[in-house]
Structure 1
Amino acid sequence: MFESNDTFVEEAVKVIETAQDKTKKTGAAVATFCLLVGTVGYSRGILTLIMAILLIIMGIFTIILYSNKNIEYEYDYTNGSLEIAKIINNEKRKKVVTIESSEIKMVAAVGTNESLKFDHVQLKTYDCSAHDEEVKDYILVAHSEAKGNDFKVIFNPSDKLLTAMEKYNKRDIYR
């Protein structure tokens, strides 16, 4: 019988829409409606052309905001390599970041002593969390040789994923 020592964990986290996202959508819709009313009812001459262009731009922006409402992050961990992808409306998949186990400096729950060390450090941040208050957020700090700098990732790993990561980075994972 063939026995494999490969480690593979795959999980998806659905992003919950925040109040800030809802406010942006509502504001864009109201602004588009106001531009429509203003363009049709009150503009004259060159002002009509300017308001029509603004209306088209604002309409496209509003459509984009409303079409990106179903977002998930997929965490794939394979033999020490973590790949995080963003899935929009179950159609479009975009790779956010790939992290090798040798690049990881620390993984800790947000609010713990280990994570507080990086609270005020200015690092490029990838927010790949669910924005759900019931799920514990973790911060992963890593160093990219290709980019030549440190970065951090905020995400929501399961216990299974953390256990798999401990196999390759025992001293760098804090629960």
Structure 2
Amino acid sequence: MWYDIIICKIKKRNGEKIMDNFAEQLVKKNETSADKTRRILMITVGILFTIAIVLLAILQLGRPLVALLGFALAVASGYGTYHIVQNTYVEYEYAFTNGDLDVDKIIAKKKRKEMVSANIRQLTDFGKYSDGMEETEDMTVIFATDNIAEHEYYADFTDESYGSTRLVFAPDERMLENIQKFLPAKLRHRS
């Protein structure tokens, strides 16, 4: 599911009106069959492991301390399984402000991790993404997309942490409009 917000603010600085371009978009990662299979496998293994620990704890009821430790491990195993499965639910947030694009990964709707930031004015390439595109060996590819290939775009730039970087993402029309306003002239006509 996609959500987006577009806001234009007018500020007065030294008597002149300045417009801030701001766009925000939330993209939920669509699960592939491999993702679903992996999640089912994690749940199955977690449940079986928890049941095995409970059964071993029951067999140790003659020794209360060992049995109590076994039940505590079973609870920890159940919680760990739940936590690991919840971490497979991923969303990406794109925030565009005056030529800067920030991409964050949101895990289980709780944890936010900053993935990358790019200045759109300094992109070296931009356009529609396809699986067969060439990538150099030293290039770091960051996928922050919903896994629907028909509307994926790429942005190439140099990042301080990653070096040569390709961001693959899925901007909606409003986000694209804002990005295209700040693209270098040589890229603006190609996208």
TM norm structure 2 = 0.68
1:102-152 superposed Cα distances (whole Å, 9 cap, x missing partner): 43111211129xx8233x64522221101235x5111211112x2371011
1:116 aligned partner: 133
Query: Does the residue aligned with 1:163 lie in a helix, a strand or coil?
Result: helix
Aligned match for 1:125, one of 118, 141, 160: 141
Q: Where does the alignment leave 5 or more consecutive residues of structure 1 unmatched? A: none
1:67 aligned partner: 86
Within the alignment, does 1:143 sit opposite 2:158 as a pair?
Answer: yes
Displaced runs of 4+ in structure 1, greater than 6 A? 42-45, 52-57
More strand by share: 2
For 2:117 and 2:126, how far apart are their aligned partners in 1? 15
Do the aligned residues in 1 keep the contact of 2:140 with 2:164 (CA within 8 Å)?
yes
1:99 is displaced (CA, Å) by 0.7
Given residue 140 of structure 2, which amino acid in structure 1 is its aligned partner? K
Q: Which deviates the most, 56-65 or 151-160?
A: 56-65
Query: Does the residue aligned with 2:20 lie in a helix, a strand or coil?
Result: coil
Over the matched positions of the two proteins, sequence identity in percent amounts to: 21
Given residue 117 of structure 1, which amino acid in structure 2 is its aligned partner? E
1:97 is displaced (CA, Å) by 1.0
Do the aligned residues in 2 keep the contact of 1:138 with 1:157 (CA within 8 Å)?
yes
How is 1:28-67 mapped onto 2 (pairs within 5 angstroms)?
A: 28-39=42-53, 59=78, 61-67=80-86
Given residue 153 of structure 2, which amino acid in structure 1 is its aligned partner? Y
Within the alignment, does 1:95 sit opposite 2:114 as a pair?
Answer: yes
Query: Does the residue aligned with 1:7 lie in a helix, a strand or coil?
Result: strand
Do the aligned residues in 2 keep the contact of 1:127 with 1:155 (CA within 8 Å)?
yes
TM norm structure 1 = 0.73
Given residue 108 of structure 1, which amino acid in structure 2 is its aligned partner? G
Aligned match for 1:86, one of 105, 130, 134: 105
Aligned match for 1:77, one of 96, 111, 116: 96
Query: Does the residue aligned with 2:156 lie in a helix, a strand or coil?
Result: strand
2:7 aligned partner: none
Report which of the two structures shows the higher radius of gyration computed on alpha carbons.
2
For 2:74 and 2:165, how far apart are their aligned partners in 1? 39
Change (3 A) 1:125 1:148: closer
Query: Does the residue aligned with 1:130 lie in a helix, a strand or coil?
Result: coil
Do the aligned residues in 1 keep the contact of 2:42 with 2:85 (CA within 8 Å)?
no
Aligned match for 2:124, one of 70, 94, 105: 105
1:8 aligned partner: 22
